[in-house]
Every structure is written in C-alpha cells, then in structure tokens.
C-alpha cells in the first residue's frame, strides 16, 4: 500500500470513529441535560435501539430490493452472450485477492456500475446496460476494479455504520420537539432540539467527506490492480459524465431510483457505491475535451462539499499520478 492509499484509509476511518465518538457524547449530554437520570432515559434508548435494528434489517435485505428496483439479471460463465463479463470480474477479483461476487446486468440506460451486498445476500456487483453500450472491455475492467475496491475495503458496511449516526441525532431532536419535556420547559428544550437537528446536518457533511475519501481510495484500487487501470478509468469516467449529459435531458429513470434507494442509511450507503452519482457534473460534450479540461481544472470547495463523490476533475488528477 502506497502512502496516499494508506493516508486515505486511515483518515477516513479516524473521521468515522470521531463521528461516532462525538455523536455518543452529544446524545449522552442531551439525555443528562433534559432527563437527568430518570426512567425516561430507558425509553430514549429503547427508541434508539429500535431505529438501529430497523436499519440493520434494511441493510440485510436491501440487496433484494435493489435487485428488483434496478431490474437486475444475474449472469454466469455459461451465459453465451456475457460470459466475457463474468470472466472480466473473475480476473479483477483474482488480482484483488477477493472472492468473486455474483455478477448482474442492470437494465438501466444510464451508464454506471455498483457493488453492494449483505451477509444474507452475499456480495454482488452490477453493470448497467448503458455502461455496456459505451465502454470497451478495458474501461469496464477499470470500473470493475473501482467497484471491487469498495467490496475489498468494506465501504458499504463502514458508511452504513456512520451514516446511521446523523439519522439517530435527527430523530432524537425531532422526538424532543414533541415530548412532554418540551411543553414543560418552554424554549430550553426547543433550542436543544433545534441544535440537534443542526448537528445532524453537520454530521452529514462529515460523512460525505468520508465517502469522497473512500471513492478516491477505490479509484486508486482500480489503478493499482488492473492493467492500465488509471488511464482506462479516466476515460470511462469522462464517457460516463458525457453520456449523463445526454441522458439527463430525457431519461430520469436511474435518478428517480437513486433518490428512492437513498431514503434509508442502508440505501444511502448503496447509492454512495455508484461509480458516478453527481448528475450536476454531467456535461453534454466530447469525453476527450472533458478529460483535457479536468486535468487543468481546480474545483472549488463549494463544488464538492455537498457531494458524495469527488469532483471528476479531482478524480482525473488523482488517477494521473498512477498512470505510470
């Protein structure tokens, strides 16, 4: 593992731990301020426990929901038409020293790929029809290397775990707004509730930053484990963004699905695993001109702070360092 890979991995994990630690402190302090040590605390933690259990259940069974939403069709080595794609995934899995995931084709026109799974459903990887239409096999191998990086680094599990934290804090604040304590204590409890909702927003920004680091980590994984991975992933990303620029004018199917699947932290963790999920970055231009521009561009902080993926220019410039 090179220095940059190690740095991204360590920093993202440390930020995740910090998010969890600060969140526990905030909840504990709020319980102490509002309820003291009364029996009401039991009710609070019961509600939190129910939310956690529901979220875990969603995570365990979400692959089946995702498969239905994206009209996934499983393929294997005996498939006459797509045995080459299964072999491609197998080759990348071996290069990553990972067990091969189940392979699916998503009947979605927009080009993309994603990795997902759970202990019940197993590890899965899907490539959309749109990606198969516009990417050559070398570019697909690089995209698969990126998605394999998410599976290898257990990003779905990490992001689901820390993604639950702002949800808990938000509902904790929401619960305070309608509690009997709010009526009895007037504005004091109301201010705490509003503060908790605001804190949940800040935590969401921190989690987006963690996800951007994990995306960069997955890009590096493709560059290091797939022959020509850096160059081919650059080209694949440019083609995908260019194609989204065309698709977004008349086809919102995948975007509606993405928004729907992001309604829970488990779904949000899945959507974060997409190869590309920032429709605002889509441009209807030739992919070669996009590549040239991105290599020189310096994206502003505001252009990425609310995104779950790094700006394409940052991804291209990072991959440029690994082309040798």
Q: Of 15-19, 113-117, 167-171, 224-228, which range is least confident? A: 15-19
- Bridge pairing between strands 113-118 and 102-106: unpaired
Catalytic residue of the set 74, 107, 110, 147: 147
- Name the strand (E) or helix (H) holding 74: strand 72-75
- Give pLDDT tens digits for 158-173: 887 777 777 777 777 7
Counting residues of the chain whose pLDDT is more than 70, the rounded percentage is 68
Token pair in block for residue 142: 């690089």
Confidence of residue 45 (pLDDT cuts 50, 70, 90): low
Higher pLDDT, 191 or 223: 223
Please give the pLDDT value at position 263.
Answer: 40
| CA–CA separation, 40 and 207 (whole Å) | 30
Say if residue 262 is exposed, middle or buried (CB neighbours under 10 Å; 0-12, 13-18, 19+): middle
pLDDT at 238 over 80: yes
Please give the pLDDT value at position 163.
Answer: 77
| CA–CA separation, 18 and 210 (whole Å) | 11
pTM: 0.80
Average pLDDT over residues 222-239: 95
Confidence of residue 301 (pLDDT cuts 50, 70, 90): confident
Average pLDDT over residues 297-320: 88
- Name the strand (E) or helix (H) holding 114: strand 113-118
pLDDT at 13 over 60: yes
100 touches 117 (CB < 8 A): no
Q: Does residue 157 carry a catalytic annotation?
A: no
pLDDT at 207 over 70: yes
| CA–CA separation, 258 and 244 (whole Å) | 14
For the chain, the domains span 3-320
pLDDT at 113 over 90: yes
Average pLDDT over residues 97-108: 94
Quote the mean pLDDT of the chain.
79
- Name the strand (E) or helix (H) holding 126: strand 122-128
Confidence of residue 294 (pLDDT cuts 50, 70, 90): very high
pLDDT at 257 over 60: no
User: Is the alpha carbon torsion for 270, 272, 276, 282 positive or negative?
Assistant: positive
């Amino acid at each position: 593992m090179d220095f940059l890979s190690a740095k991204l991995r360590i920093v993202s994990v440390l930020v995740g731990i910090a998010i969890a630690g600060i969140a526990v402190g905030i909840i504990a302090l709020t319980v102490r301020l509002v309820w003291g040590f009364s029996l009401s605390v039991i009710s609070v933690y019961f509600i939190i426990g129910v939310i956690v259990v529901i979220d875990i259940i969603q995570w365990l069974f979400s692959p089946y929901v995702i498969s239905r939403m994206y009209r996934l069709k499983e393929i294997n080595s005996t498939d006459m038409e797509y045995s080459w794609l299964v072999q491609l995934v197998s080759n990348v899995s071996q290069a990553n020293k990972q067990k091969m995931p189940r392979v699916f084709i998503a009947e979605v026109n927009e080009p993309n790929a994603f990795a997902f799974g759970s202990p019940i459903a197993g590890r899965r990887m899907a490539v959309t029809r749109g990606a198969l239409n516009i990417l050559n096999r070398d570019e697909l191998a690089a995209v698969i290397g990126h998605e394999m990086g998410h599976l290898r680094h257990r990003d779905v599990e990490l992001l689901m775990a820390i993604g639950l934290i702002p949800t808990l804090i938000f509902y904790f604040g929401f619960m305070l707004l309608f509690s009997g304590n709010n009526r009895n204590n007037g504005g004091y409890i109301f201010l705490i509730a509003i503060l908790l909702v605001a804190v949940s927003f800040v935590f969401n920004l921190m989690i987006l930053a963690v996800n951007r680091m994990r995306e960069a980590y997955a890009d590096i994984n493709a560059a290091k484990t797939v022959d020509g991975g850096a160059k081919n992933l650059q080209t694949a990303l440019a083609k995908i963004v260019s194609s989204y620029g065309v698709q977004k004018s008349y086809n919102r199917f995948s975007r509606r699905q993405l928004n729907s699947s992001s309604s829970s932290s488990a779904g949000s963790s899945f959507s974060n695993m997409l190869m590309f999920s920032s429709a605002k970055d889509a441009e209807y231009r030739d992919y070669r001109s996009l590549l040239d521009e991105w290599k020189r561009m310096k994206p502003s902080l505001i252009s990425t702070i609310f995104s779950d993926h790094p700006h394409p220019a940052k991804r291209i410039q990072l991959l440029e360092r690994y082309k040798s």
